[in-house]
Amino acid sequence: MTCVKKKAEAKGFTSKPSTSCCPAGKLRGFTTRIIGDIPAATSEDVDIAVKAARKALKRNGGKDWATASGAHRAKYLRAIAAKITEKKPELAKLEAIDNGKPLDEAAWDIDDVAGCFEYNADLAEALDAKQNAPIDLPMDTFKCHVIREPIGVVGLITPWNYPMLMATWKIAPALAAGCAAILKPSELASVTCLELGEICREVGLPPGILNILTGLGPEAGAPLASHPDVDKIAFTGSSATGSKIMTAAAQNVKPVTLELGGKSPIVVFDDVDIDKAVEWTLFGCFWTNGQICSATSRLIVHESIAKEFLEKLVKWAKNIKISDPLEEGCRLGPVVSGGQYEKILKFVETAKSEGATISFGGKRPEHLKTGFFIEPTIISDVTTSMQIWREEVFGPVLCVKSFKTEEEAIELANDTHYGLGSAVISNDLDRCDRVTRAFEAGIVWVNCSQPCFSQAPWGGKKRSGFGRELGEWGLENYLSVKQVTRYISDDAWVVGLDCNRLNLLKWEFNEI
């Protein structure tokens, strides 16, 4: 992990982290050693970044970026993607060290980062053809068209579970739309976001278009959310913090996009290949060390196969390799911080005290004496009133409950304040379609869990937030639509008035 230290340098891009040590810093999850420090931005730094972004949008009358063609901006996005691909080994290693996820997963994330920039470059080019799109009107004396404009300066606040990727989900469409962005990544894992800033500098992105401020939420994130000259906030993180951001943004009536927490269900029916379903269930919950907002962490399995299913879950979970994330074959690394480690263990203890059964895990692996490691945890005999059923753990913890009927399965799946992801596994595709339509969630996976593509919309409902990222919907987050209507007739514009009455009105106005 990195340590938050010293004042940020908000000059278009924040400086790279140094390697000096700070006793109060966050520790690397595997070695519990500090790997470096990062700048700690203040509200003054936020002001500097906002001014830099505003200046960048207005430079050369906006022609450098905001009003340039989408094709012009696409060249930069593709250059960024190419540089990320070139530096993939270095970036993946930094992500694994800073975040704790297995190196293989970090490498896949970097591939997705490059792919997201490439995809948004395509969207930027396609935007040119959509400009000045005509609108059909019921009167032939008028013509109307729409202009799509960048919304302006956007504040982007991102989490630590996918540090570079979650930042890219926001940065790439914001830049494609012509916005200037200010990124505040999580203080728990910021290193690759700073590297992204350096990459943008290397490819010649105009100064001030992307500004990166590392630091703590109250000192950097809150001033960014409430800043009067920031036109929009996009946030990914907890529901509690999302509520605070909404409150801050409301003071200036600025739009927000929120991708918040989840307690997603995976419903498994009795007509499945149990081995395949077990594999998807484990992947859906323990991927990214279980630290993923869309984790399908509530298994709802048909009672006729529940016993066999649970036995195989435990058997396979025992074989998951837990190790240094840089070690070949690692499938579960340390969680991100000591605080997160203690929080997860407390969830497990509360489940035990409420009467649930820890079928496997819930503690430190015996072969790892140090580090923030937790075994993949499977909790059975769960009731719907238990904390483990209702609250997001954000760790490698799966709770299990059985059902009898399709109607009961749907009711259990929707028994949550959240509505981000959901999954159904069944060989009956008609049933899958019924369940898909009944799920109260923004994302449904059928016979799988957790696939994510840049082309498909991502987002939730209820306390999982609102708005969509990725796909064309992600770009629309950062665009403002302007209506332009022109009167094209040579006739005088008179509605409901004869000429004598019109002359009388003109005379009255002149008298006034």
Task: Name the residues annotated as catalytic.
Answer: 259
SS (H, E, C) 3-20: EEEEECCCECECCCCECC
d(CA 231, CA 248): 12
Sign, CA torsion 238/119/288/284? positive
Residue pair 167/190 in contact (Cβ under 8 Å)? The answer is no
Whether the CB-CB separation of 396 and 290 falls below 8 Å is answered with yes
Its sign, for the CA torsion 388, 390, 393, 396, is positive
What is the three-class DSSP state of 32?
coil
Q: How far apart are CA 482 and CA 144, in angstroms?
A: 11
Per-residue CA distances from 207 to 11, 159, 225, 289, 315 (Å): 8, 25, 22, 37, 54
Q: In this structure, are strands 377-380 and 397-403 parallel, antiparallel, or unpaired?
A: parallel
Type of residue found at 148: R
- Whole-number Å distance between alpha carbons of 180 and 153: 5
Residue written as tokens 């940065």? 171
- 457, 470 contact by CB (below 8 A): yes
Paired residues of 446 in beta bridges? 424
Pairing of strands 357-360, 377-380: antiparallel
Asked if 123 contacts 462 with a C-beta cutoff of 8 angstroms, the reply is no
Q: Would you give the DSSP letter of residue 384?
A: T
How many Å apart are CA 322 and CA 153, to the nearest integer? 43
